[in-house]
Amino acid sequence: MNHLIPTTSIRGYQPSSSGRIPQYENCRLCPRSCGANRYEASGFCGCGTVPKAARAALHQWEEPCLSGIHGSGTVFFSGCTLRCCFCQNYRISSEGFGKEISVSRLSEIFLELQEQGAHNINLVTATQFLPSVIQALESARPFLHIPVVYNCGGYESLETVQALEPYVDVWLPDLKYMDSSISSLYSKAPDYFSAASRAVQQMIRQTGPLLFEEYAEHRQTCRLLKRGTILRHMVLPGQKEDSIRLLDWISETLPRGQFLLSLLSQYTPFYKSSEHPEINRRITTYEYEKVLDHAIRLGLTDGFMQEKSSAKEEYTPPFNLEGLDSVSDA
């Protein structure tokens, strides 16, 4: 795809005279603000300066308004700013599996997904590569005609959210915890709610009221989200009270009609869950229904719930480097 534009000077992320991107030299891209010089050593996220991903393909397992008929054009980035002990994507988030790709190749991938029929471009856990991702989006922007979804753990700085305002149409953050002791124990982020609550409010301010579009093809129809915010919350074993407090905060703080709530029951004990016996099991129907009933009592009914049967390992996509090679590499 030789119609992509150069990616040399994008919203403050241009290389310095040395050819280096300053944001990678003293990394403050996430709330940890670890200050790593990622040209010399990886930061907490485990990443250097070259984008790395494990899969770029159509994905059918997002919320219906994102997956639609053809699927969401997901790019799963390697590394993560959290360390969730139960992460289903641990192979790429914590163990670093993936393939390095150039900024220009990343731009091509976005357009290839669009050509495959993706309803949107879905950037999964991309913050550790923010300068490169913004460059790639800017390059593809004149030719990209579908929404960009930013799919993240919610642990974002306000500066990152604001930097993405011109590029992101749909925010898809987790809102995992309210209690700092729980977020510290399970994700090594005692400041999780402090950071995520500010970030989520900014996301909603940026996207504004929900905007949908009816889509029809070959007698199939769906309703696609073109702009807005979807808040995901996954109920954890033994933590329904924290979920209920979080729902109270959502109800009291966030503007109705400007977000969807996706209440997930899919928790499956992955990765290092066995180190925490209290969460080394799936949630019970009782736990999920208590949280769901509370959401209904609060009037938080605009969104999605999950069947208990969604807690299956098969919902983890195959991280097989699909879609990352260019045609010339194949």
Architecture of domain 51-315: Alpha-Beta Barrel (3.20)
Q: Enter the DSSP assignment of 158.
A: H
Q: What is the pLDDT of residue 218?
A: 85
The pLDDT assigned to 307 comes to: 76
Q: Three-class SS of residue 147?
A: coil
Q: Give the tens place of pLDDT for each residue, 242-291.
A: 999 999 999 999 999 999 999 999 999 999 999 999 999 999 999 999 99
CB 269 within 8 A of CB 275: no
Distance from C-alpha of 152 to C-alpha of 129, rounded to nearest angstrom: 13
Q: Which helix (H) or strand (E) holds 320?
A: none
pLDDT at 12: 54
Where are the chain's structural domains?
Answer: 51-315
pTM over 0.85: yes
List of the chain residues with pLDDT < 70: 1-18, 308-315, 327-330
> Which residue is associated with the tokens 């990616």?
7
**Both tokens assigned to 312:** 């299956």
